[in-house]
Structure 1
Amino acid sequence: MIESAGSRFAGIGTLLFLGAPIAAYLSGDARIMFYVHVALGAFWFGLDFFFKFVLGPSLDEVADEVSGTVNQYLVPKMALVAEPLSVGVVGSGIGLAEMMGYFNSPSIWIHGALGVSALMLLIGFGPIHFTTAKMSVELSMPEPDGERIEDLFGTTMKWGLVQTVLMLLIIAMMTGIRWQI
């Protein structure tokens, strides 16, 4: 996938999405960590919704050749953005909770947020990763099997919708955390 997306693209994305939370945490300033967490979270949330509710349905309406060409370049880049982004969001959330003292006396919201975060990472690095990797390999074939790609895309979308529901749930939990201050 790195070859398909480009090593420079993969490196910059990984550096940005993992480096920003690390730098924010090392700064020791909870405000910086808060803004990094919110920015990364908003990007992940926006990317998730754009892909599922705008780009995906749009690609369903164009000719298979067009959709296949777009997906050949899109799928590897999406995977290489989503994975370090998800780790960056979860890591910055954990770092922020620690900086704000939420682990000193963890509430049900903290336990819930940690559980949902772990589940989101398991889904992202489990079934979503494997189906997008298979899709990327199929798309790189000289004559990709459109039916296989459609099945893999459908599976990825189903797991992705679970991720979307979990994102909405964790936002609700973070609202509960914020009300406890």
Structure 2
Amino acid sequence: MESTAVTTESASSAHLIGKLTWWVWIFPAVMVAALIRHSLYWLDFSHVMAGALWTGTDIFMGFILGPILRHLAPDQRRAVISWLIPKTILYVPLLALTTGIAGWFLASWQHMLAPYSPYRPWVFLACSVIALLTIQGFGILLPNSIRAYGELQKSSPDMDKVFRLNRRNNRLAGFQGVLQVAIILVMAHLTVG
């Protein structure tokens, strides 16, 4: 019996690994290379691209996909969620980390964190919002996704629990999208001055 459980668990892990969005590693890799080479251009590229994809994903999840899922039949919702969670479980956290870390280094390299910099309060405002997004992302969204995916792997999953976790994540993703638009407003101020 124990052998069957281990085999099922490893098959489930292999199934998850096969569904992950591996190409997203490009952005942290570009960021690390930019940090090593001290390339402002590539650091900015990784920050902007990861931030745009992260923000777009959150806005899509919260304001487009979430309402659509609410109108689907339970078996249709289950099918979508079963594919959605593995695609986002690596994608969103890597984009979030890349955006925040690259942004911090950009601000540092451009002396925006210096005590005399007029941009310093704006950078700290953006950092405060990033801190909130990170706490929500790694403290609520990611654990909910892992719990929902684990539930879906059971022979008789509690679909009400899965739908509840997914609904909570979609709403929070929408809230995160709004906060990210606020950060974009701050970034526009920092760019234009």
Matched, 1:94 2:104: yes
| Structure 1 residue 7, shift from structure 2 partner | 5.6
| Structure 1 residue 2, shift from structure 2 partner | 5.8
TM-score (norm 2): 0.82
Give the 5 Å matches for 1:145-160: 145-160=158-173
Q: Against the structure 1 CA distance between its residues 102 and 2, is the aligned structure 2 distance closer, same or farther, given a 3 Å change threshold?
A: farther
User: 8 Å contact 1:36–1:92 — kept in the other structure?
Assistant: yes
Matched, 1:131 2:144: yes
1:16 counterpart residue number? 26
Matched, 1:59 2:69: yes
2:6 counterpart residue number? none
1:29 counterpart residue number? 39
Matched, 1:74 2:84: yes
**More divergent stretch after superposition (93-102 vs 150-159):** 150-159
**Structure 2 residue identity aligned to 1:104:** A
| Structure 1 residue 89, shift from structure 2 partner | 0.7
Secondary structure class of the residue paired with 1:144: coil
Equivalents in 1 of 2:92, 2:100: separation in Å? 12
Equivalents in 2 of 1:24, 1:2: separation in Å? 33
Equivalents in 1 of 2:88, 2:13: separation in Å? 11
Equivalents in 2 of 1:8, 1:155: separation in Å? 23
CA RMSD of superposed structures (Å): 2.1
Give the 5 Å matches for 1:137-176: 137-176=150-189
Give the greater-gyration-radius structure (CA): 2
Equivalents in 2 of 1:2, 1:159: separation in Å? 26
4+ runs of 1 displaced by more than 4 Å? Answer: 1-4
Q: Against the structure 1 CA distance between its residues 140 and 3, is the aligned structure 2 distance closer, same or farther, given a 3 Å change threshold?
A: same
User: 8 Å contact 1:4–1:76 — kept in the other structure?
Assistant: no
2:51 counterpart residue number? 41
Equivalents in 2 of 1:76, 1:154: separation in Å? 16
| Structure 1 residue 143, shift from structure 2 partner | 2.1
- Which ranges in structure 1 are unaligned for 5 or more consecutive residues? none
Percent of residue pairs bearing the same amino acid type: 25
TM-score (norm 1): 0.87
